């Protein structure tokens, strides 16, 4: 899951971004409304977290412009204001949820998961992905293959989710770096190969048919036989 966070408070943005990355999410951060709007219109995100009091362009204007441009990205508003009128105004502008500062990170995480489930056609489809006998459950944060539980670290879970969302399609190392590590450049290391190797050992090693394949010189693909 890739998120956009538009927040000018350095402490809040650093805290939330760190927590989301530890939970296996990819996060892009913008410190002002103009930059945040540009990212929201030029990149594909699974959800956005937007503060209302922003420099250059306020959060409410960002939300309205995103909706004006036909963006259906799920949006959670962060605000220090508790007034009902403020919440109503944000919902009418096109936001999907509203959280008052200060807030618990665990609640923000739960609300993001709820937005992801509602974004798909049904809650059942949103909470699970399946390829062959491999299933990934977002709500329970667990993975199984042919009924056997597979324990994954957060980064491995995030990588598997990315592969499963792109099942049958070859994804390059560059795309993996962007979606799993937030790298928009080649760090000149083999971090992708190492993580793919670890994931393959867990989802393929003890099974007759491999699901994760290497396409030499191109990238990787997850597909059933």
- C-beta separation of 52 from 78 below 8 A: yes
Q: Which of 85, 7, 10 is nearest to 53 (CA)?
A: 7
Place of tokens 């809040």: 12
* Architecture of the domain defined by 125-222: Orthogonal Bundle (1.10)
Q: What percent of the chain is helix, strand and coil (3-state, nearest 5)?
A: 45, 20, 35
The tokens for 214 are 């290497």
Query: What is the C-alpha to C-alpha distance for residues 123 and 126, in angstroms, rounded to an integer?
Result: 5
Phi, psi of 51, deg, nearest 5: -80, 155
Residue 61 pLDDT: 94
Query: What is the C-alpha to C-alpha distance for residues 99 and 79, in angstroms, rounded to an integer?
Result: 6
Using the 8-state DSSP alphabet, how is residue 180 labeled? I
Which ranges in the chain are annotated with CATH 1.10.10.10?
Answer: 125-222
10-residue stretch averages of pLDDT, the chain, 225 residues long: 90 89 84 94 89 93 91 88 84 90 88 75 62 87 92 92 89 82 66 93 92 91 88
Give, rounded to a whole angstrom, the gap between the first and last alpha carbons of the chain.
Answer: 26
The 3-state DSSP class for residue 220 equals strand
Which ranges in the chain are annotated with CATH 3.40.50.2300?
Answer: 2-119
Which residues lie below 8 Å from residue 24, measured CB to CB, with a gap of 6+?
A: 1, 154, 155, 157, 158, 161
Residue 119 pLDDT: 64
Instruction: Note if the pTM is more than 0.75.
Output: no
Which CATH number does 2-119 carry?
A: 3.40.50.2300
Q: What is the CA radius of gyration of the chain?
A: 19
């Amino acid at each position: 899951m890739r998120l956009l966070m538009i927040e000018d408070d350095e402490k809040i943005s650093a805290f939330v971004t760190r927590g989301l990355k530890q939970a296996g999410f990819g996060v892009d951060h913008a410190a002002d409304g103009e930059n945040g709007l540009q990212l929201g219109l030029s990149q594909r995100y699974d959800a956005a977290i937007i503060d209302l009091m922003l420099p250059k362009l306020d959060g409410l204007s960002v939300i309205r412009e995103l909706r004006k441009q036909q963006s259906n990205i799920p949006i959670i508003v962060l605000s220090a204001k508790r007034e009902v009128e403020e919440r109503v105004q944000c919902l009418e502008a096109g936001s999907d949820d509203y959280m008052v500062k200060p807030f618990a990170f665990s609640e923000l995480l739960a609300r993001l998961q709820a937005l992801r489930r509602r974004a798909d056609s049904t809650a059942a489809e949103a909470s699970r992905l399946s390829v062959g006998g491999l299933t990934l459950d977002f709500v329970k944060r667990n993975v199984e293959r042919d009924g056997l539980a597979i324990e994954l670290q957060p980064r491995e879970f995030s990588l598997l989710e990315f592969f499963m969302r792109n099942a049958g399609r070859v994804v390059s190392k560059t795309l993996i770096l962007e979606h799993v590590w937030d790298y928009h450049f080649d760090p000149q290391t083999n971090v992708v190969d190492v993580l793919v190797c670890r994931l393959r050992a867990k989802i393929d090693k003890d099974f007759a048919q491999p699901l994760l394949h290497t396409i030499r010189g191109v990238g990787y693909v997850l597909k059933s036989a």
